């Protein structure tokens, strides 16, 4: 029952997203906006997997986004062929995710700050003049030689659909059930025979790779980026707000949250940067203090009240 429900909603959401991705630019001719929306939705779903299903919030989650973009660039810079550079970036991110695995031994808030430190460390490493031989430092990275926006756009849509179905699959599988058991109580999950480190670790690696592929696609599509455009803590935190707003741990929640809030962000952030920041700051406080379930919680309450 639950199994079918997740797949049906994944299918419906995918159809809507594909329609939006192809139809949207016909109505509002800013294709980059729709591309960014797709990419940020992917990141939000990736964050949702680890935060929603394990309760662990990686504050520096965007480290993978940044490394995804820079992985390919570093690969190209050391003289690899394009497809080798993509593989190089993928493996590099896999290594970073594996190196950070011991963080799960920590309590949740230490985990949050440790990922934040990893994020800041990586950012300063990438933009350091000492490594500019590989990263071009703060001057920015260029991928013009492999620039191909139409192909990137289509790959991004395919990847988004993949991530939506992956979320549905994880939620309805035994793996997802184990994750939820761990979230409720590590000890009782362990006693029920769940292999806690492997289950959590797998969720972490999947989630990290989703963000890194999103980063790679973003870097590829924009073809030129600075360290601070891809290592963006502020956007990373806004994405936490997107996920919380829509409803943590659901499939539809992060997508709706991103669609609404990212549009607001994109529309106002150029002229009203600080008002947008103030809005998101207050929104985060309100969500945490009063509405931990996001709008999904409000809707559920409303339905319960009006449909006995």
The stretch near other proteins (CB under 8 A) out of 25-33, 37-45, 166-174, 277-285 is: 277-285
Q: Which of 9, 84, 120, 177 binds other proteins (CB under 8 A)?
A: 120
The secondary structure of 245-289, three-state, reads HHCCCCCHHHHHHHHHHHHHHHHHCCCCHHHHHHHHHHHHHHHHH
CB of residue 183 vs other proteins: minimum separation in angstroms? Answer: 10
118 binds other proteins (CB under 8 A): yes
Q: How many residues bind other proteins (CB under 8 A)?
A: 49
Q: Which residues contact 205 (CB under 8 A, 6 or more apart)?
A: 94, 97, 98, 101
Q: Least separation, in Å, of the C-beta of 214 and other proteins? A: 22
Task: Using the rule CB under 8 A, give the single segment among 85-93, 128-136, 143-151, 167-175 that binds other proteins.
Answer: 128-136
DSSP string, 102-119: GGGGS-HHHHHHHHHHHH
Q: How far is the CB of 4 from other proteins (least distance, A)?
A: 30
Residue 89 CB partners (closer than 8 Å, separation 6+): 67, 68, 70, 71, 72, 74, 75, 212, 216
Q: Residues 156 to 215: which contact other proteins by CB under 8 A?
A: 186-187, 190, 196
Q: Identify which of residues 13 and 233 has a Cβ nearer to other proteins in the complex.
A: 233
- Please, which of residues 208-247 interact with other proteins by CB under 8 A? 233-234, 237, 240, 244
**What is the token pair recorded at 178?**
């184990």
Q: Nearest Cα to 229, choosing from 52, 14, 69?
A: 69
How far is 291 from 141, CA to CA, in rounded Å?
A: 40
Assess 145 for contact with other proteins (CB under 8 A).
no
Q: DSSP characters for 38-79?
A: HHHHHHHHHHIIIIIHH----TTTHHHHHHHHHHHHHHHHTT
Q: Minimum CB separation from other proteins for residue 13, in Å?
A: 26
> Which residues lie below 8 Å from residue 52, measured CB to CB, with a gap of 6+?
243, 248, 249, 250, 254
* Mask for 34-63, x = binds other proteins (CB under 8 A): ---------------------x-x-x----
Report residue 48 as tokens: 């949702």
Minimum distance of other proteins from residue 125's CB (angstroms)? 4
Site map (CB under 8 A) of other proteins, residues 59-98, x = contact: x---------------------------------------
Q: Which residues bind other proteins (CB under 8 A)?
A: 55, 57, 59, 102-103, 105-110, 112-114, 116-118, 120-122, 124-125, 128-130, 186-187, 190, 196, 233-234, 237, 240, 244, 273-275, 277-278, 280-285, 288-290, 292
């Amino acid at each position: 029952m639950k199994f079918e429900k997740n797949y049906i909603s994944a299918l419906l959401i995918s159809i809507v997203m594909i329609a939006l991705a192809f139809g949207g630019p016909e109505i509002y001719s800013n294709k980059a906006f729709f591309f960014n929306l797709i990419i940020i939705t992917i990141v939000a779903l990736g964050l949702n997997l680890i935060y929603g299903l394990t309760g662990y919030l990686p504050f520096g989650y965007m480290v993978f986004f940044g490394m995804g973009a820079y992985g390919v660039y570093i690969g190209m810079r050391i003289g690899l062929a394009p497809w080798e550079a993509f593989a190089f970036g993928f493996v590099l991110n896999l290594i970073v995710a594996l190196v950070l695995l011991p963080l799960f031994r920590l309590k949740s808030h230490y985990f949050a700050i440790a990922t934040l430190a990893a994020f800041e460390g990586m950012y300063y490493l990438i933009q350091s003049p000492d490594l500019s031989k590989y990263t071009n430092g703060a001057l920015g990275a260029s991928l013009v030689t492999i620039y191909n926006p139409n192909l990137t756009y289509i790959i991004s849509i395919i990847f988004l659909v993949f991530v939506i179905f992956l979320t549905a699959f994880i939620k309805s599988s035994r793996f997802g059930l184990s994750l939820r058991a761990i979230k409720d109580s590590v000890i009782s999950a362990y006693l029920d025979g769940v292999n806690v480190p492997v289950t959590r670790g797998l969720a972490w690696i999947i989630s990290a790779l989703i963000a890194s592929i999103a980063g790679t696609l973003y870097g590829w599509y924009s073809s030129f980026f600075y360290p601070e455009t891809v290592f963006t803590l502020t956007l990373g935190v806004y994405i936490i707000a997107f996920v919380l707003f829509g409803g943590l741990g659901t499939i539809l929640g992060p997508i709706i949250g991103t669609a609404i809030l990212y549009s607001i962000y994109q529309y106002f952030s150029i002229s009203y940067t600080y008002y947008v920041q103030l809005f998101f700051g207050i929104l985060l406080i309100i969500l945490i203090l009063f509405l931990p379930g996001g709008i999904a919680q409000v809707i559920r309450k409303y339905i319960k009240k009006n449909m006995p």
